[in-house]
Structure 1
Amino acid sequence: MSTDTARDARQQWNAWREERTETVSAPYGPLALTGTHWLADAPEGRIPAISGQWAEEAEAVRLTATAVDGLTLDGRPLDGVVRLRPDKGPAAAARVSYGGRKLVVIRREGLWAVRVFDPGSAGRREFAGIDVFDHDEKWELPGVFRPYGSSRRVSVANADGRERGLGLDGELAFTVAGTEHTLQAALEVDGTLWAVFADATSGVSSYRFRFLRAPAPGVDGRVTLDFNRALLPPCAFADHFICPFPPPGNTLTVPVPAGERDVVRG
């Protein structure tokens, strides 16, 4: 890599870091999550510190509220019954709000939950940045994506202690110090790739596991893997996320001193 190319790569990485910090520390970013409430665990339909009556149905969440409850739907006071589908996009775009908080409806393996994002969370107040490894061009690696004949689903532990299914569509192969390594990866709707992995730095000089995203592979499967942009999972920012742990085979035996290391709290 030429000097100019290396300088451009570092500048782009620095810009990515700044954008990443802004995203996680936004009013309704990951640091704002204060609770994930599974409706199956709330048979009376009550969510702590949140008004309204919440009930799960086969294809929606039924929310019942009166004007005095203080809930809003699409910016207007809610008075009556509404059926809510899972929220798409960022938490800031969630349909239901309560006292400045956003209430995000999610569904995981047929179970419904409501997440509470509070701009006044302790996580946002205590956030002092994201610690990272220094940018190193040698961790921008050529790789190849080898799709499976059909998608697979494996059961993996999640950060909340439960096991859930994780969809996998193929493996990413790359070489470190002359040895080939592979990571099982999922193919996203837009064609990009996503993998959850651990390595020899995990739990030592970096968080216990991280995410890696890669662009859509070429027709020959070739793709660039930039470990300088390895991401902390959402559960590194708030305990109420349910991030999947690495599936079998996704714990690398080599250290990967690149990308995000951990959250810094003041």
Structure 2
Amino acid sequence: MSTQAQQQAARDWERWHEERTATVSGPYGPLSLTGTHWLADYPEGRIPAVPGRWREEDGAPVLEAAPEDGLTVDGKPFTGRVRLGADRGPVDTSRVAHEGRRLVVLSREGLWAVRVFDPDSAARRAFRAIGATPYDARWVVPGTFRPYPDSRTVRVENADGVERGLGLAGEIAFELDGAGHTLRVAVEPDGSLWAVFADATSGNSSYRFRFLRPAAPAGDGSVTVDLNRALLPPCAFADHFICPFPPPGNTLPVAVEAGERHRIDA
């Protein structure tokens, strides 16, 4: 890579880092998550500090609310009973809200939960920056995506201590300092790749694991592996996320001293 190209890549990385910081610290970014409440844990339908009565009926969550609950659904004051589904869009477009908080419905392996995003969360108020290593061209290497004949699912522990399925569609093969490595990856709906990985810095000078999201591979399987863009997972910003841990084979034996490393608070 020429000097000019490296300088441009460094500027692009700076913009990416600034955008990441803005996203993370936004009113409904990951720092604002204050709880993930599984409906199965509240058979009576009352979730602590969450107004309304939330129950699962016939495979879907149902919300019942009285006027004093102060809930809105689809932007309008809500009283009565409504059947809900999983919120698929950005947090601030969730159907249910309460005094500035967004109550996001999600489903994992047949279980329903309500997540509470509060712009006034303690974590958001304490946050100052994402600690990251400045761009270094040595961490940008060519790779090859090798799809599996059939997608497969492996069981991995999640950040909440529960084991869940992680879908994998193939692996990326690449070299660092002359040594070959692979990462098992999922393929996102837009064709981009997603890896959950750890390395020799994990749990020491970096968070215990990180994400990597390479762009969609070319037709011949070639893909750029840019470890400068290693990401902190959502659970690095709030304990209530259920991020998957790296699957078997995704712990690199080298120290990846690149990308996002840790959260910095006041």
TM-score range, shorter chain: over 0.9
The corresponding residue for 2:77 is: 77
The corresponding residue for 2:186 is: 186
In 2, distance between residues paired with 1:137 and 1:217?
20
Determine if contact 1:40/1:112 at 8 Å carries over to the other structure: yes
Where in structure 2 are there 5+ consecutive unaligned residues?
A: none
Determine if contact 1:39/1:112 at 8 Å carries over to the other structure: yes
The corresponding residue for 1:17 is: 17
Are residues 58 and 252 of structure 1, via their aligned partners in 2, closer, same or farther at CA, if it must alter by over 3 Å?
A: farther
In 2, distance between residues paired with 1:100 and 1:159?
27
AA aligned opposite 1:188: E
Determine if contact 1:39/1:45 at 8 Å carries over to the other structure: yes
Determine if contact 1:142/1:224 at 8 Å carries over to the other structure: yes
In 2, distance between residues paired with 1:58 and 1:18?
44
| Deviation by residue 1:105-144 (Cα, 9 ceiling, x = unmatched) | 0000000000000000001000010000121011111001
The residue correspondences of 1:131-146 to structure 2 (distance < 5 A) are 131-146=131-146
The residue correspondences of 1:148-187 to structure 2 (distance < 5 A) are 148-187=148-187
| Deviation by residue 1:53-105 (Cα, 9 ceiling, x = unmatched) | 10113442100112221000011011111111100122111110012100000
The residue correspondences of 1:96-135 to structure 2 (distance < 5 A) are 96-135=96-135
For the aligned residue pairs, the C-alpha RMSD in angstroms reads 0.7
The corresponding residue for 1:2 is: 2
AA aligned opposite 2:77: P
In 2, distance between residues paired with 1:12 and 1:173?
25
The residue correspondences of 1:235-254 to structure 2 (distance < 5 A) are 235-254=235-254
Q: Secondary structure at the match of 1:214?
A: coil
AA aligned opposite 1:115: R
AA aligned opposite 1:166: L
In 1, distance between residues paired with 2:135 and 2:13?
8
Work out whether 1:196 is the aligned partner of 2:196: yes
For these two proteins, the number of residue pairs brought into alignment is 266
Determine if contact 1:59/1:85 at 8 Å carries over to the other structure: no
Q: Give the TM-score, by structure 2 length.
A: 0.99
Determine if contact 1:144/1:222 at 8 Å carries over to the other structure: yes
In 1, distance between residues paired with 2:134 and 2:16?
14
AA aligned opposite 1:248: P
Shift of 1:225: 1.0
AA aligned opposite 2:204: V
In 2, distance between residues paired with 1:78 and 1:150?
46
Determine if contact 1:198/1:246 at 8 Å carries over to the other structure: yes
Q: Secondary structure at the match of 1:72?
A: strand
Determine if contact 1:52/1:65 at 8 Å carries over to the other structure: yes
Q: Give the TM-score, by structure 1 length.
A: 0.99
- TM superposition outliers: structure 1 runs of 4+ over 3 Å: none
Where in structure 1 are there 5+ consecutive unaligned residues?
A: none
| Deviation by residue 1:15-68 (Cα, 9 ceiling, x = unmatched) | 011100010000010000000000000101011111111011344210011222
| Deviation by residue 1:158-178 (Cα, 9 ceiling, x = unmatched) | 000000000000001000111
| Deviation by residue 1:231-264 (Cα, 9 ceiling, x = unmatched) | 0000000000000000000000011111000000
| Deviation by residue 1:159-212 (Cα, 9 ceiling, x = unmatched) | 000000000000010001111100000011111000000001111110000000
